[in-house]
Amino acid sequence: MGCGRYAPSPSGELHLGNLRTALLAWLFARSTGRGFLLRVEDLDRARAGAEEAQLRDLAAIGLTWDGVAERQTDRASGYADALDRLRAEGLLYECFCTRRDISEAPRAPHTPPGAYPGNCRDLSPGERAARRAERPAALRLRADVVQLSVQDDLHGEYTGVVDDFVVLRNDGVPAYNFAVVVDDHLQGVDQVVRGDDLLSSAPRQAYLATLLGARAPQYAHVPLALNADGKRLAKRDGAVTLGDLSTTRVVDGVEHGPVGPDRVRGVLLESLGLPGESLAAALEAFDPAALPREPWILDSPLTGA
């Protein structure tokens, strides 16, 4: 049996939706006898102090993980080896496109919406050299399929686009869809639980996993937490982090006292239809088939018990 994982980006404090997804990732892993890893995805967006705050908040709601939290920035050799493997198999090519180039490019009738139109796929060596003198190149995967089906614990079979997606950005940073696949492969992760806004990424990632000699993981894309307007929950929505909730605050003229992490965990578990008194009780009652399929709407201030 492999591992599950939770992989936050250290761009700020975790909000209630992030914590809810972390709880779900832990429950999925522990209920299936898997290990549970924590990976800090700090390749792109890292704010000073955010990693420490996130680890503190996850521990405060009772989550535990195996080993130490790993960082993507410590995994450069793994990314380099994967790129070398793909390059040796002729599966990478340089791309010099800007976003405008892509949006304005003519598309063949069979090109799925949102897919890369292939502008740089078949450039001659001379054309590549000329473009290289103008701007640095990204690296794209030369895919030989246009779509792929994956199985998801909550969504069933999902079929999505697989195009020539970027694996290495033109600033030399591994792209998200590439890095997470390499990370999961090297860490033995065979269960991926995350927000359902990332479901459309799963076919691309599953395809890349097979090229790297790995099996696609078991996926579970879980509903998001939304604000009263039906938009993704964010810190601007008010008291939605443990830090904010730990202080007395006034909302619409009403004073609300501090809300502790145990109370927060209880509310989050109850929003999933699980007993809120403890993680142990939630784990005993956990059944993926019974999980809500709709987003959790946070339309009123979270208050103490």
pLDDT score for 253: 73
Q: Are residues 173 and 79 in the same domain?
A: yes
Angle made by CA atoms 202, 289, 294, in degrees to the nearest 5: 70
Same domain membership, residue 58 and residue 83 = no
pLDDT at res. 129 = 96
Last residue of a domain, one of 167, 187, 216: 216
CA distance 29 to 226: 24
Residue 114 lies in a domain: yes
**Which pTM was predicted?**
0.94
Domain co-membership, 83 together with 207: yes
Q: Is 9 annotated as a binding residue?
A: yes
Q: State which amino acid sits at residue 181.
A: V
Is 100 known to sit in a ligand binding site?
no
- pLDDT tens across the length of the chain (305 residues): 799 999 999 999 999 999 999 999 999 999 999 999 999 999 987 788 999 999 999 999 999 999 999 999 999 999 999 999 999 999 999 999 998 988 888 877 777 777 899 999 999 999 999 999 999 999 999 999 999 999 999 999 999 999 999 999 999 999 999 999 999 999 999 999 999 999 999 999 999 999 999 999 999 999 999 998 889 887 777 778 999 998 887 777 777 778 999 999 999 999 999 999 999 999 999 999 999 999 999 888 787 66
9, 136: one domain: no
Q: Is residue 32 a part of any domain in this protein?
A: yes
Same domain membership, residue 171 and residue 124: yes
Domain enclosing residue 51, as ranges: 3-72+223-298
Q: What is the CATH number of the domain that holds 90?
A: 3.90.800.10
Residue 194 in domain: no
Do 83 and 131 lie in one domain? The reply is: yes
In a domain, 266, yes or no: yes
* Co-location of 16 and 46 in the same domain: yes
**Dihedral through CA 186, CA 192, CA 196, CA 199, nearest 10?**
60
Tokens of 305: 């018990």
Both 102 and 164 in a single domain?
yes
- Has 176 been labeled as part of a binding site? yes
Q: Residues 211, 227: one domain?
A: no
Residue 94 sits at φ, ψ, to 5 deg, of -75, 140
Whether residues 205 and 120 fall in one domain: yes
Q: Are residues 240 and 288 in the same domain?
A: yes
- What domain count does the chain have? 2
Active site residues: 235
Q: Is 93 annotated as a binding residue?
A: no
Last residue of a domain, one of 188, 216, 244: 216
- Strand order, beta sheet including 35-40: 3-6, 35-40, 70-71
Do 86 and 205 lie in one domain? The reply is yes
Q: How many residues does the chain have?
A: 305
Question: Residues 199, 160: contact at Cβ < 8 Å?
Answer: yes
Residue 99 lies in a domain: yes
Q: Report yes or no on 192 lying in a domain.
A: no
Query: Has 116 been labeled as part of a binding site?
Result: yes
Q: Is 120 annotated as a binding residue?
A: yes
Residue 95 annotated as binding? Answer: yes
Q: What pLDDT is attached to residue 305?
A: 61
The SS3 assignment for 93 reads: strand
Domain boundary among 189, 216, 243: 216
Kindly state whether residue 305 falls inside one of the protein's structural domains: no
In a domain, 23, yes or no: yes
Could you tell me the CATH number of the domain that includes residue 25?
A: 3.40.50.620
